[in-house]
Every structure is written in C-alpha cells, then in structure tokens.
Amino acid sequence: SLAACGEKTEAPKENEKPVVKIGATLPLSGGFAETGVLSQQAMQMALDKWKAKDTKYDYQLFVEDDVSEPKKAVLNAQNFINTKKVQAIMTMFGIVDRPVDEIANDNKVISLSCSYGKTDVLEYAANNCVQNHRVAETLLPKLKKENIKKVALVMTNTAVSRVVGDYFAERLPQEGFEVVAYEKYNMDTRDMRMSILAMEEKQPDYYLTFATHPLTDIFVKQLQETVDKRNVASFGSFPEMDPSLFPLVENLWTIYSVAGTDEFAKEFENKTGSLLKSCNANSYDNMDMLIWAFENTPVKEGKVLPDTADVAAKLKSIQNWQGATGNVSFENGVVSPKAELRMYQNGKWVKIEE
C-alpha cells in the first residue's frame, strides 16, 4: 500500500530540474563482490557522462548490497520503492533479478537486469546479457571442430544455471552430441570427487560447466586431482573464478560472456584500474540507455516526469545502439550480445579466432 504512493513526484522548485531516482541492488560483498563493485563503477561512468550534458532531468543513484541473495535484493527493492521513491531499479545475475522484476512491475517501476538465461520479461522490465542461443552459435561449431562427441554437463543447482543446463541438455542431442551426464551441485558442495569418478565411467570427451563461484574452481581443481584430466570448458564461468586459480585453466577455452567492446574495455581499465568482468559493460549500457529513454520520452500534461510505462516502452524500442557491449538492439525487451571464444594464456583472456 505504501508503494502505491511511489508514482507521485514532487514538483521541482524554481530553476531546479526534476529528479529521476534510480536504485541498484548489487553484490557488493560475498563471492561476487568484485563483479558487483565494478558494475556499480560502470553505472557511475554512464551517469557521469550524462551529468556532463545539459539534460532535462537530474539523476540520482542509490546503491545497496544484496550479497547475491534474493531475500536481500527484495528488501532493497522494497526500500527503493517505498522510501526512495525510485523510478527504476537495476540488478545483475539471475540469482536475484526475477523477484525484483515482479516487485518493480507491480509498482510500475522500471527494472533492468543483466541475467543469463532470461528471455521473457515483464512490461516494466528489460534484460541485457548474452543468452543461450548466442552461446550455441559459438559453442556448437567449436565442439564439432574439436571432434567432441560425448559431453557431461556440470552445473550449479540454481535457477540461472539450470536454465543454461536444461537448454543444452535438450539442444546438444539435437545437434548430434551425446549428453552422458548432467550433474547439478548444491551451492554448499565442496567435495565432487565421487561424482567425478561416476561421470568418468561414462567416458565423456569433454565436461561443459556453468557452475557458480566457487564451484567452478572446485570442479576444475578436483577433476585434475582425481583423474588427472583438464578436458573441461565453460559456458562463461571460467572468468568468474578466483583469479589466483586462473593457472588451473591455462590454455583451456571458454565461452566468454564478459560483453564489452575493446574500446570500452580500455576506457574502463583506465578509469577503474580493473579488467571487465561479467555484467560490467551491460550495466553501463543499461544506465546509459535508461537515461536516454527518460530524456527522449514526452511528458504528459500535468506531470514533471514521463510515465515509467512510456519510458519502458521507449527503452525497449532501441535498435542499433552503439554501446559498451557493441551494437545493441532489443527484441521483446531483451538484448543478447554475441558470445566469443577465449582462452586463458599468460594472464589474459585471449580471443580465439575460429
């Protein structure tokens, strides 16, 4: 009932611009803290770009830590809507974004996410992240080139990981590959040795993994320790490993879902001192496009800000936007950048030209 008041916006004082308020619930602590902090910095970069212009509105960003926990993200979203009176909320990762979308949509608040495996969005929601069909476009030719016939899928028992695993468990056999195992580990799993031995009995040519940190780290390490093998690639989780463990995946290939043009990657490193991680460039684009949509949506008579429904529609109408993730076009509220193949060599994720 309190949230219903959130649509009301106080009229600005003379010579003041109306303020658009944006909330961001991000993992600023816990296993994804580095990625969350860098996404916050990416959002701020986009915000600073617009602050240097003569915009119609001022923009205010509120940021809260959700530790990648859905309950904390929901509380953050409720606080943004009920107390801060935001017009939009930004999230990252499929662990938290779905419940935030629902709360935002119920309160006519725009919700922007960076979430793998999410192709359906609500009226006020939009998503910007590499999706399964893009991964398949890159993965399938690589598997065929390497003459890989039998694969084992290694996933986390979480919603986003299951979306990826379920898709490829169905798609790979359609393309002539045999899925000999589909293992889903709970987040608290620390010993995978017995399951590795069980999968080895089925003689997979390769293991394909999309396990949430730290499970990717544990699986790659224990695969080597248990059966002395390194026949593993990832759907995008290698770059999210603990950097101190990157030597474990030296010369191993991965789908590289850390979207971002070379130009933006260089600018980002110059400004933050850090390399891009997952969702950083996507978060920049989400902020950039959101502000553009507010600036370019007409205001109805008697209002000081455009209606969020109109802004959401304007946002999702964007085509061929030249952004941090490359050429951006929405389809049914979703942007899916192209996926690349990369290999970790000498401290860098190097593009593989196929």
Model confidence pLDDT, tens digit, residues 180-198: 999 999 989 999 999 999 9
Kindly give the interhelix angle for 280-295 and 308-315, rounded to the nearest 10 degrees.
120
Q: Report the run of H or E that residue 177 belongs to, with start and end.
A: none
Judged against a pLDDT cut of 50, whether residue 10 lies above it is answered with yes
Contact status, residue 90 vs residue 283, Cβ threshold 8 Å:
yes
pLDDT at res. 94: 81
Helix (H, G, I), strand (E, B) or coil at 82: helix
Confidence at residue 13, expressed as pLDDT on a 0 to 100 scale: 61
Work out the pLDDT band at 5, boundaries 50, 70, 90: very low
* Contact status, residue 329 vs residue 336, Cβ threshold 8 Å: no
Condensed to tens digits (0 to 9), the pLDDT of residues 303-349 reads 999 999 999 999 999 999 999 998 999 999 999 888 889 999 998 88
Whether 36 and 28 have beta carbons less than 8 Å apart is answered as: yes
**In the predicted model, is pLDDT for residue 14 greater than 70?**
no
**CB neighbour class for 317 (10 Å; exposed up to 12, middle 13-18, buried from 19):** exposed
50 vs 160, more confident: 50
Collapsing DSSP states into helix, strand and coil, what is residue 121? coil
Residues 6 or more apart whose Cβ sits within 8 Å of residue 146: 206
**3-class secondary-structure state, position 11:** coil
Q: Determine the Cα angle at 222 with ends 143 and 203, to 5°.
A: 45
Model confidence at 82: pLDDT above 80: yes
- The per-residue pLDDT for 339 is 85
